[in-house]
Amino acid sequence: MADAKRRPGLKPVERRTFLRYSLIGSVGAGLGGFGLASLGFLWPGSPEGLFGEVPLGNANDLADEIQNERAPIRVPEGGISIIVWDPSASGADAAYGEHHQAILSDDVGLMALNSSSCPHLGCGVPWCQSSQWFECPCHGSRYNRLGEWTGGPAPRGLDRYASFINGDGEFVVDLGQELTGPARTANILEQSPEGPHCVDA
């Protein structure tokens, strides 16, 4: 009678079964984590910093500062560098005039480059004061003062943003209108390095 009331015991798990389920669980967890991470890249993040049409200061003052310092003005919040360009240079107006309407005189205009993301793999691209070029520290891509490609693995020049001067004389950058950088063959400026490079190629 006692034997009839005895509950059947749990069957012991075999080692092979335990290892099989452990492997399946580990692979499943890894794939799940990878899938969630992939969705995180595709999901639009919350906007940080600047966005839309952003006035960045008096256009004449910005141009004077850039020319006096011989260096772009960096705006970290927008990931941009403001540069001066010459619309009267051969081919410059045809190449850049349509989207860069911040023209102060026949030979002075302002332009905003995306210096926070190298077209190669997305590294920040700082300004090198000695060479007067933008130089990527990650893989050695280089760009002249206008952000045109001069060397390295990048597929094109630095991307840029449309810009104009508003009724108050302010330089306005449209961060909602990013423009693909010029092709490798674009060399309107034809600027050689003016001193030592900051990054070894």
Under a CB-based contact definition with an 8 Å cutoff, are residues 175 and 54 in contact?
Answer: yes
- The CA distance from 144 to 151, in Å, is 10
Place of tokens 């990054």: 199
* CATH class of the region 53-179: mainly beta
pLDDT of residue 3: 53
pLDDT of residue 64: 95
pLDDT of residue 7: 60
Q: Which residues pair with 96 in a beta bridge?
A: none
Contacts of 89 (CB under 8 A, 6+ apart): 107, 188, 189
**Could you report the average pLDDT of every consecutive run of 10 residues in the chain (201 residues)?**
58 79 86 78 53 88 94 90 90 83 90 93 92 93 93 93 93 91 87 88 66
Burial (Cβ within 10 Å: 0-12, 13-18, ≥19) of residue 89: middle
pLDDT of residue 40: 67
pLDDT of residue 13: 72
